[in-house]
Every structure is written in C-alpha cells, then in structure tokens.
C-alpha cells in the first residue's frame, strides 16, 4: 500500500480513535441536556446506506460467464471529499496512475470498476482508464476528473474500450439508492461471497452512516493485495481529515490481512464523503473525529474479515492476536508473520496443534523484541488450550486441541510478555483447493 507506517503520533492517533470513541460517544450523548452522539450500530444498505449514494452492477462482457456481473458504478448526488490508498507493489495498474491524478484535489463524485481484467501491463491501459472516466462522466453529468476508476482480474490481458462503451450506459441507467448488492457482486472475481457492510451513528446530533463493499480472495498479503474496497459516508469531513483517518486505519486493518503472501498490482481503498448528513464539518482532531474513526474501523474490520474468510480454497479463518509487545508496530509485524506462514496455514488446515510452527514464525518476524518468555494459546468456540509457556513445551490435551482446530474460526494468541502493546492480523488456512483454483486461474 502507498501509505507508510508513519510517525508514532499518527499510529497513536489511530489507536486512540478506536480505544476512546465509545467513551466520547457516551460522554457526549447527553452533554448540555441534548443528544449529541450515539453508539455505533450495524445498518442495512451497504454503500447505499449513507444518504445520497446510488449504485448498480451489470454484466457487459469483460467476463465470459454471462451470469456474472462485471461492471460496477457508485455515484454520489454531490461531489465528495475523497481519499484513497494503493498497493505498494512497484508494478501498478493503469487505474492507479489515473486516480493519483484525479485525487490531487481531494475531490471525487463517483467510482467505476470492472472485474475480469486488471488493466495492468495492458496495451494503452492508461488511456483506456481515462476514456472510461470520460464515458462515465458523460452518462452521469460529472467532470471526468471527479471519477475514480478501478479494475481487477487477470494481469496482462488487453482491455477493449468498446466493452465500456456498451456497459457504462447500461449500468448508469440501473443506478439505484438500494443496489449496493449489485455493485458488490460486480467487483467480484474468484470471490465466493460478497463483502458488504454498513453502520449508523449519531454525530453532533445528526444521524450519520458509513458503508462499504470489498472484493478479494486471492493474491492477498499485508500492504494490500488483489483487493478493492470502496467506502461511502454522508459525514461532513474535510478531505485532509478523511485522508488522515483512512491512512491511519489501513495500518491495522487492510495491512493486517494475508491469504497467500502475494501482493498484487491494482489494490485500492477509496473513500467518498458527501457531507449530506449535515453535521458540522470535521476539520480537526477531537471527539467527533474519534467517533468517525471508530465507525470507519468497524466497517473496514468487517470487510477485512470477510476477505480472509473468503480466501481462495480456504476452510478456516485465522486470527492471530499478539499482546505483551514493546510497541504496536512490533505487535503488528509479529501477528502478520504468523498468519503469513505457509506451515502455520497448513497445520491449521490439518487440525494439527503444531505450535512449533507458530513459534518459528514469531522468531523470524523482522522486529527487535524478546521472545524467550512467550505463551501461546489456541482457541475457538470449542474452548482454549495453552500449547506453549515461557517459550517451552507444556503438556496439553491433544483431543481438546483437535476439537478447537476443527472449527472454522480459530484464534492464535501469542503473549510475548515483553510490553503492553497488542495487535491482530487475519489470515486463512492453505488447502488443496487453493492450488486447484490458481493452477487454472486464466481459464
């Protein structure tokens, strides 16, 4: 991803936003005898949950399977403050080149995305991405510079602009205030399920929403991957603070997921804020910004869990919690190291409590910390078992461990006992089916 770890102050701000938002919401709920803010609650509607957003998805020919939608469009009723973060892969898709140009002013009003072909290393890719924006702008009455364009699918395949010419008028005509589902399905590639969520909350007396959709199930590795995520909100927030919130959030969400260790070329998380909720614009840090960040974290965490749970061929979601670390950065590095390990992934697939593989992955994590006193636990809805204490073997119930690992969501807890910080990373097991899927991906 394009946003680096950043300063300690920035990371502390992100941690603080999540940790204290609930407190701010409670404190401000009755301040001055007037309801000012409220708890974050799940909402229906996905990216259409916030006021003033329409969406749609259609099949127009990028994919051979005519039953699968392959072109999505998301449009705001008004131009939005906008922000985006991108893959850190040195080879980047043509849409990222265009989006960097379009988002220089921090403004956008729509997102268009095709699936099936990635528009990476493709002939005339940048011009095709620009022409796509021009075609979309003409249909929805917007400046082409205010369009975000994304593509996902096979790398190196040529894109035909005529497919966009056919599809864009069709998807524009289908735009609806309640078709987040159509857009969510249109951006899927090898995904087995759509990823969609939304929340509502009261901010300074105004009912606000954040919604999101995502795609991704393979070529996923921390620092983003073959993953796209689009976030909408009706909160009034400045472009600068939206960029700050999104850049801080991805450090602990999208950058903490891994399926197969491959970082792709087109990955983008884009956020649009149209301000139609009518709250006073958030233009500085404070209680309102903290609440917004907490709501954003709720949405992005849900989407990230959905991505790894839908990993190509996956049968189990893995969550690694590292606590007792000297710094938050070290906790993030260690937890990511564990969920990236192919040997840990295969052990979880085989329901084998081979904790030595976890210990090994902790040990080669690229960070400076003490690992001579760590404890390791395995848990699921079937229970919890300690498998390592003080970095040494302990007797444990193998049958209980087997029952724990038989569940489809497993938590690995590593307590370094070397500090007070913690972090979480998400991954999945590695199965035979992953090889089958990727051995014939183009066909």
Residues assigned a catalytic role: 226
State whether residue 56 is helix, strand or coil. Answer: strand
315 within 8 A of 408, measured Cβ to Cβ:
yes
DSSP string, 380-408: ETTEEEEEEETTEE----HHHHHHHHTSS
Residues 6+ apart with CB under 8 A from 73: 55, 56, 57, 110, 111, 112, 113, 136, 140, 168, 171, 172, 175, 183
Distance (Å, whole) CA 50 – CA 53: 6
Distance (Å, whole) CA 414 – CA 325: 10
With the C-alpha atoms ordered 172, 173, 179, 183, is the resulting torsion angle positive or negative?
negative
On the CB side of 321, CA atoms within 13 Å amount to: 12
Distance (Å, whole) CA 311 – CA 429: 8
Distance of CA 114 to the CA centre of its chain: 18
Looking up tokens 């190291």 gives: 337
Looking at beta carbons, which pairs linking 26-32 to residues 24 or more positions away fall under 8 Å? 27/287, 28/287
């Amino acid at each position: 991803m394009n946003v680096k770890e950043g300063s300690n102050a920035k990371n502390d701000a992100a941690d603080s936003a999540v940790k204290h938002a609930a407190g701010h919401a409670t404190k401000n709920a009755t301040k001055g005898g007037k309801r000012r803010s409220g708890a974050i609650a799940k909402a229906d509607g996905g990216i259409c949950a916030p006021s003033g957003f329409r969406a749609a998805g259609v099949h127009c020919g990028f994919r051979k399977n005519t039953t699968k939608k392959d072109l999505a469009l998301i449009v705001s009723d008004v131009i939005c403050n906008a922000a985006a973060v991108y893959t850190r892969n040195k080879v980047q898709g043509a849409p990222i080149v265009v989006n960097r140009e379009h988002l220089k002013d921090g403004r956008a009003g729509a997102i268009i995305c095709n699936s099936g072909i990635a528009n990476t290393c493709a002939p005339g890719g940048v011009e095709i991405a620009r022409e796509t924006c021009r075609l979309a702008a003409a249909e929805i009455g917007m400046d082409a510079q205010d369009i975000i364009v994304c593509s996902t699918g096979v790398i190196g395949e040529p894109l035909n602009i005529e497919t966009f010419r056919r599809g864009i008028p069709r998807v524009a005509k289908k735009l609806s205030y309640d078709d987040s589902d159509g857009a969510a399905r249109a951006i899927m590639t090898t995904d087995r399920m759509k990823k969609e969520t939304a929340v509502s909350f009261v901010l300074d007396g105004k009912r606000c929403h954040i919604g999101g959709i995502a795609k991704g199930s393979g070529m996923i590795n921390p620092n983003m991957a073959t993953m796209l995520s689009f976030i909408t909100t009706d909160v009034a927030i400045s472009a600068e603070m939206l960029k700050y919130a999104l850049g801080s959030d991805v450090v602990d969400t999208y950058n903490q997921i891994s399926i197969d260790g491959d970082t792709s070329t087109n990955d983008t998380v884009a956020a649009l804020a149209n301000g139609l909720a009518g709250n006073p614009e958030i233009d500085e840090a404070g209680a309102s910004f903290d609440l917004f960040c907490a709501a954003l974290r709720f949405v992005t965490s849900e989407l990230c869990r959905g991505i790894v749970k839908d990993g190509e061929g996956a049968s189990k979601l893995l969550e690694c919690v590292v606590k007792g670390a000297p710094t938050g950065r070290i906790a993030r590095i260690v937890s990511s190291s564990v969920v990236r390990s192919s040997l840990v992934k295969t052990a979880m697939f085989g329901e084998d409590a081979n904790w030595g593989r976890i210990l090994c992955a902790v040990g080669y994590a690229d960070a400076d910390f003490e690992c001579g006193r760590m404890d390791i636990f395995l848990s699921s809805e079937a229970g919890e078992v300690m498998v390592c204490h003080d970095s040494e073997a302990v007797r444990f119930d193998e049958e209980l461990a087997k029952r724990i690992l038989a569940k489809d969501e497993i938590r690995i807890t590593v307590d370094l006992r070397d500090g007070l910080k913690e972090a979480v990373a998400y991954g999945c097991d590695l199965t035979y089916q992953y090889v089958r899927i990727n051995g014939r991906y183009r066909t």
